[in-house]
Amino acid sequence: MTLQVFGLPVARGVAIGKAVLVASSRVDVAHYFINADQIEAEIGRVRQARNTVADELSTLKREMPDDAPPELSALLDVHLMLLHDESLTGATKQWIRERHYNAEWALSAQLEVLARQFDEMDDDYLRERKADVEQVVERLLRALARGESSALAPAAGKVVEDWGGEEPLVLIANDIAPADMLQFKQSVFKGFVTDVGGKTSHTAIVARSMDIPAIVGAREASRLIRQDDWVIIDGDAGVVIVDPSPIVLEEYRFRQRQSELERERLARLRHTPAITLDGEQVELLANIELPQDAPAALQAGAVGVGLFRSEFLFMNREGELPGEDEQFEAYRAAVQAMQGLPVTIRTVDIGADKSLERLSLSELRHEHTLNPALGLRAIRWSLSEPSMFRMQLRAILRASVFGKVRLLIPMLAHAGEIRQTFEIIARAKQQLRDAGTPFLDVEVGAMIEVPAAALMIPLFLRYFDFVSVGTNDLIQYTLAIDRADESVSYLYDPWHPAVLRLIAGTIAEARGASKGVSVCGEMAGDPAFTPLLLAMGLRSFSMHPSQIASVKQRILRSDTSKLALHVAQTLGSDDPQASFRKLAGDAGQIH
């Protein structure tokens, strides 16, 4: 039966595929694909876990005291029976063979199938047996976790290979952590849906960066959608259609083809210089997370990397920080891949929605704070760990020998932080000189993402060579909105007058001081904001490679000399969005 689930559209387009459910479990479950030659080894892990749990249950039954209630023995028999039932372990092996899931994922996927079957049973007693299945699966998952770690699990930062099956897949989950998104990054899924999240949650941002249709905040999606259901994700309307009729399916397939044609048209702009109608040259840079993303930036026509989010090198590492040499190799790989174009590397921005989940350093108290976005994150954490910070700085400086490198410092707000940062940079340089390690002087920039920094921009411009406006956090902190909290996400407003005035003031001050200024947050990659940012004087945008073509199209159609005439009136309005659209639209400057 066809049903519709509604949520927030966060990445445009249409995706059609079979549903893959990532079940939420009381036991952490790793999700990754395996290669064909690894299937038997992974099935061996399931077999070993089943034998381990069978021994445990048999021992419990054998050592049960005489006065134990008979029901307990009967319950253990049920669990043993379920453990050896082909509908559990046999079907789990089938997921591994046919879908190439790892053992943990295959178990949780089969649990979803069985749980729904039990939910549909009319008999109350049989329906309640679902809890027994869940308990058996959790025992198996714990046995897998206790056993020897799978040699097939992807190494930290390694992008998992693409799904090799023929059927398109879409991901359905309660939520997806940023670290998990790394595992799903390379087009394994054609789209995804989550129960929670807002338009600017990290999940939504990554969806847009992957350029795949996505819907968040769909509430009951992971409960209503079954494993292997055919699903349509309408990323324009925010609708998920489950088990669509043939007519609906054909209509959306037509829309899918139209969307692909539009992408092909935009792709032709790749080598066209980003110059406005009045001759203003605009710099379009790429945001990347890993060195492997650099080729996509070049392919999209980026003239450099405006933001290399180095924190992704620190994630999925089982509590182990990357060493200096490992970081250096990653930065060098990105710099060399950009073939002489500039690469701006941001120092680690751990905290808020990007945490080091299993890192055991006691200094990471932000893991336990009520609001990690206001806690020990970004430069605050780096300054609290000076040896780690110097290690990262040395690695970045060493990479400067291989191309044009710029250094970017996140979340600065205090003059004391600025001075302390430059002292540590100087110390890192001296350590390299003492060791005879070559490096070049690099430009140092500051992220403007805290209102205090935007209001103190003259001070920042005395210290830094350039500034980069991180609009995601700037909006969050200006409006006191946790962008990951769906209950207040509707208040997150990039068009808020206070936000626009802070951005406009930062751009104007930087241009007046002849210092470089860019925007690297979500607003930079949203074509709806391109004319206004151009009108404010912005000439450097940094975004995910997939967004460059659509932003370039808006730039090619814009006349900045005419757009600039409307900035003052727009910033003075209570409703800047309506004001700018009316003024510029009436003058024929927004197409």
Using 50, 70 and 90 to split pLDDT, how confident is the model at 126? low
Q: In whole angstroms, give the CA distance from residue 556 to residue 545.
A: 17
Phi-psi group of 558: left, alpha or beta (phi > 0 → left; psi -120 to 50 → alpha; rest → beta) = beta
Using 50, 70 and 90 to split pLDDT, how confident is the model at 364? very low
The reported pLDDT for the residue numbered 150 is 45
The model's pLDDT over 325-341, given as tens digits with 9 standing for 90+, comes to 999 999 999 999 999 99
Look at the pTM and tell me if it is higher than 0.95. Answer: no
Q: How many CB atoms lie within 10 A of CB 25?
A: 15
Question: Given 3.60.15.10, 1.10.3720.10, 1.10.274.10, 1.10.10.10, which CATH number is that of 36-146?
Answer: 1.10.274.10
Higher pLDDT, 464 or 364: 464
The reported pLDDT for the residue numbered 22 is 74
The torsion angles phi and psi of 300, rounded to 5 degrees, stand at -80, -10
Q: How many CB atoms lie within 10 A of CB 499?
A: 23
Using 50, 70 and 90 to split pLDDT, how confident is the model at 248? very high
Q: Which of 65-79, 340-354, 549-563 has the lowest mean pLDDT?
A: 65-79
The reported pLDDT for the residue numbered 368 is 44
Residue corresponding to tokens 């039990």:
118
Of the ranges 52-66, 155-169, 198-212, 223-237, the best mean pLDDT one: 223-237
The reported pLDDT for the residue numbered 156 is 31
Higher pLDDT, 477 or 178: 477
| Mean pLDDT for the stretch of residues 23-32 | 64
Q: In whole angstroms, give the CA distance from residue 408 to residue 265.
A: 34
556: which 2 tokens? 């090619």
Q: Is the distance from CB of 495 to CB of 502 less than 8 angstroms?
A: no
Using 50, 70 and 90 to split pLDDT, how confident is the model at 449? very high
Q: Is the dihedral of CA 60, 64, 68, 74 positive or negative?
A: positive
The torsion angles phi and psi of 489, rounded to 5 degrees, stand at -60, -25
> Residue type at 14?
V
536: which 2 tokens? 């404010």
Using alpha carbons, select from 327, 351, 334, 349 the residue that is nearest to residue 428.
327
The three-state secondary structure class of 498 is: helix
* Catalytic positions: 202, 520
Transcribe 507-541 into DSSP letters: HHHHHHTT-EEEE-SGGGG-TTTHHHHHHHT--EE
The reported pLDDT for the residue numbered 319 is 62
Q: Is the distance from CB of 413 to CB of 453 less than 8 angstroms?
A: yes
Q: What does the domain layout of the chain look like in residue ranges?
A: 3-22+156-264, 36-146, 272-586
Question: Does the structure show a pLDDT above 50 at 363?
Answer: no
Q: In whole angstroms, give the CA distance from residue 465 to residue 516.
A: 7
272-586: CATH topology: TIM Barrel (3.20.20)
Q: In whole angstroms, give the CA distance from residue 394 to residue 80.
A: 56
Using a pLDDT cut of 70, give the percent of the chain over it. Answer: 84
263: which 2 tokens? 């992408």
Sorted by sequence, the CB contacts under 8 Å of residue 154 that are 6+ apart come out as 32, 160, 183, 316
Q: In whole angstroms, give the CA distance from residue 203 to residue 214.
A: 9
Beta bridge partners of 466: 445, 516
Using alpha carbons, select from 591, 529, 530, 537 the residue that is nearest to residue 565.
537
The reported pLDDT for the residue numbered 67 is 61
Q: In whole angstroms, give the CA distance from residue 100 to residue 33.
A: 5
Average pLDDT along the chain: 85
Q: Is the distance from CB of 333 to CB of 157 less than 8 angstroms?
A: no
The model's pLDDT over 139-153, given as tens digits with 9 standing for 90+, comes to 898 888 876 544 444
- Is CATH 3.50.30.10 what the domain over 3-22+156-264 is classified as, yes or no? yes
Higher pLDDT, 253 or 373: 253
The model's pLDDT over 375-413, given as tens digits with 9 standing for 90+, comes to 888 999 999 999 999 999 999 999 999 999 999 999 999
Q: In whole angstroms, give the CA distance from residue 167 to residue 401.
A: 46
CB-side neighbour CA atoms (13 Å) of 513: 20
The reported pLDDT for the residue numbered 345 is 98
The reported pLDDT for the residue numbered 72 is 62
| Mean pLDDT for the stretch of residues 107-112 | 86
Lateral strand order in the sheet of 169-173:
3-6, 239-242, 230-234, 14-22, 169-173, 192-194, 214-216, 8-11
Question: Does the structure show a pLDDT above 50 at 26?
Answer: no
The three-state secondary structure class of 586 is: helix
Higher pLDDT, 80 or 524: 524
Residue corresponding to tokens 């946790």:
482
169: which 2 tokens? 């897949």
